[in-house]
Structure 1
């Protein structure tokens, strides 16, 4: 980008727990996402985007710093990120941007309602954030001076209004801005919604994904009716999210900013919702680890699908690459801006994803710590002791039902994926027990503090959930 050319504004929208398959453009006819569908037509639509660690805190840290979880420090839920970590906001600040953050942060550690002081905001200058809240009818935000403001009504609507207020106040500014809007939905609780939203989807005939396994639920004895109700609430959150994105896009168009704004949409990870008999996340399946990713800049980025694999750790280097910038420190993510601009560009061969620390619901699973790679067509996963978990050919098995790890006809593919996995593991963490990884990274004390906090929090949380008649699993 030439020195004489004004850098574009950046608007980065991130949701929480929105899996790749639940948009209209991805083929789901039950969910209603007309604004995301249009955005997918206006820009680069990545079809194989993955969360490197499908859990809220590590994923968010990797997205902002372009580093894997052990390097940025927030290696498990509610372990705080290193305060001195370099984020994309620091690079944008140095390039003359005003950086702003609105919504869920979840990188401050415990307690979840703590104030995030300026030195812990990873360089973001304008602040209307909260550390973590999922009671969507009891929201709040803290401003730049850590004055707390109560949110009335459904939290994502209010957060979008805050974003629109920011955009309105900067519409005549000559200084470019980079605004992050991070909402907590469609993460459970699924049933805290605007009036009528849950009923709207409950009254529709919803189809469960083909890999939902009611008879072999591994975490709670859900029946089909209860899973369908969770689908209804989940889709309600997504429809409301899409409406808020529509408000923002309309403002950009009304103010003739849409063509000149880089608009990004993604999520930190997905949601199992009964697929393969599991709930929530922290799993190698696509429902948990694969996310939507849209990057629009109508003036510059050719629209169309991008089949090349990408992951959250690549997004910040790619976004910087689009505007001619780069990180000035060591990062793990790759600049894939060439793929953004050129549909046929080479890209990368694999993405690496994992779940080191068995947080919350994962602590009771048979496989508690794992690593995986995917090239977009095949995926392969191993436990921390290098026992094979599974391998799938998503080219002809998009629901990941037939495990082919022991199929001799795929031996060459397995060897290739295993070699790629070994390279990534040896580079990033080693096949070590998760406790050892935390000790080596000086994170065990923070983990123990988090666990002690949650033993009390979950007891209080479930009592609060009962009052609003919600069926919720551990966060």
Structure 2
């Protein structure tokens, strides 16, 4: 099947959806038949990792292909430099129409402020709010209109319909469209009732790395998990709507369709409460990542690619698949050979990090730098701890192999690779205050940059 010089790109970005929470990945709670069907037609990047597993840093890494320590985007609610050579700008310069719908969260000028064109990173079609988690009748700005508007009902449904209408109206030129949906990020009590009614908290099945201290903590976690999976079930319908629209318009063969998330969700794993991320565990950092482009993936349907795929690798990979030049400043790696040639890139590892932990849930956690390989996770924390997991044999990361005799050689190799990666991006891995001072950020008692509505 011939490829197009400039295929369309539809990028569906969700928020706080961990990789395990899909039917195709074996989660008994997840009702995701449409996403499961898409997975059977796609390449599934099983080691897709949030370069910095929290909202603003992850989104900045996606937009720039650069690490948080390079851009300064290592906390929520700080502004991305408008002069970045971002993915939207490169697609636009390459002859693409560009559109962005939904959550942005890299502007840093207030969560309900109107974002001017010069801070939109190359996206022309614009129906966006910086950040909200009120998913019922949420607000947004359209284009250059300074009057705030409202999505009708559950915003993911309305945003998906708007994305499909955008596709219908952009058939003459190639387009790069991002549909950025807020769920299943908490709160977990505001999915449409019909989806909430599907999930009985008492019926939720937890993974082996979840243990409860008492009945109260178990009840809380069950309630949150039920709401989390209600959001997921609702969004499964959104993915179906986009897939059907592309099919009806005969755009499937000429469109790279991606389903992904910015970071994951702990939901009780390893004694971490629901609504927590930032930390290095698999549930926090590993995300779903499906890529379908029939001219290249038709003979790879359902393939599970194990090459580590960090957020910073997304921009160079997509630009390469679309025949566009990759800016020199990009730090991620072009992994398009995984798609074009159906190969694994054996020497690639994904570096990820928490630079200055923040929020009431995370500010006491240590900073860390970590690697994901085809088979292992290796972590070095700011307080001197080491963690090493064999993710193939121990997918729930129950056994820390660090400093064990059997894993001594593996640990030494990964420590050397971690240091090589840090040297490459000029990251000395210092305490969080070093980076706060370097970038001039003032934080509150829980390490956060204060933000306004």
TM-score (norm 2): 0.93
Mapping 1:196-207, distance limit 5 Å: 196-202=194-200, 205-207=203-205
Report the equivalent of 1:170: 170
> Is the Cα–Cα contact under 8 Å of residues 105 and 130 in structure 1 kept in the other structure?
yes
Number of the residue aligned with 2:326: 327
Equivalent position SS for 2:371: strand
Runs of 4+ in 1 over 6 A off after TM superposition: 446-450
Partner Cα distance (2:290, 2:200) in 1: 29
* Paired positions, count: 446
1:223 corresponds to: 217
1:272-303 Cα shifts (integer Å, max 9, x gaps): 00000113101110000000111101122232
Q: Give the equivalent residue in structure 2 for 1:51.
A: 50
- Write out per-residue CA displacement over residues 195-233 of structure 1, whole angstroms, 9 at most, x where no aligned residue: 2322211177220111012129xxxx9522221111111
The alpha-carbon distance between structure 1 residues 98 and 162, as it changes in their structure 2 partners (threshold 3 A), is same
Match of 1:151 in 2: 151
Other structure's SS at 1:299 match = helix
CA contact (8 A) 1:16 1:267 kept: yes
Does the 8 Å contact 2:266/2:277 carry over to 1?
Answer: yes
Q: Which residue of the partner structure matches residue 473 of structure 1? A: none
Matching residue within 374, 379, 382 for 1:381: 379
Structure 1 residue 445: deviation in Å?
4.5
Change over 3 Å in CA distance of 1:76–1:452 after alignment to 2:
closer
Asked whether the 8 Å contact 2:191–2:230 carries over to 1, the reply is: yes
Contact 1:107 1:131 in 2 (8 A): yes
- C-alpha distance in 2 between matches for 1:235 and 1:352: 29
- Out of 283, 287, 296, the position equivalent to 1:300 is 296
Where does structure 1 lack aligned partners over 5 or more consecutive residues? 458-475
Instruction: Report if aligned partners of 1:14, 1:267 keep a CA contact under 8 Å in 2.
Output: yes
Distance 1:27 1:233 in 2: 19
**Cα distance in structure 2, aligned partners of 1:120 and 1:348:** 36
Q: Distance in 1 between matches of 2:102 and 2:53?
A: 20
1:238 aligns with 232
What residue in structure 1 maps to residue 437 of structure 2? 439
C-alpha distance in structure 2 between counterparts of 1:76 and 1:63, whole Å: 15
What is the Cα deviation at residue 397 of structure 1?
A: 0.9
Measured after TM superposition, the shift of residue 364 of structure 1 is 4.2
Deviation at 1:16, TM superposition (A): 0.2
Partner residue in 2 for 1:427: 424
- The answer to whether the 8 Å contact 2:64/2:84 transfers is yes
Select 2:281's aligned residue among 276, 282, 285: 285
1:415 and 2:409 matched = no
Corresponding position of 2:38: 39
Counterpart mapping for 1:112-131 below 5 A: 112-131=111-130
2:356/2:447 contact within 8 Å kept: no
Equivalence map 1:77-88=2 (5 Å) = 77-88=76-87
Distance 1:46 1:402 in 2: 24
- TM-score normalized by the length of structure 1: 0.89
Q: CA deviation at 1:448?
A: 9.7
Contact 1:309–1:347 (8 Å) recurs in 2? no
2:52 touches 2:353 (CA, 8 Å); kept in 1? yes
Change (3 A) 1:21 1:352: same
Within 2, Cα distance between the matches of 1:324 and 1:448?
47
* Greater mean alpha carbon deviation, residues 26-35 or residues 345-354: 345-354
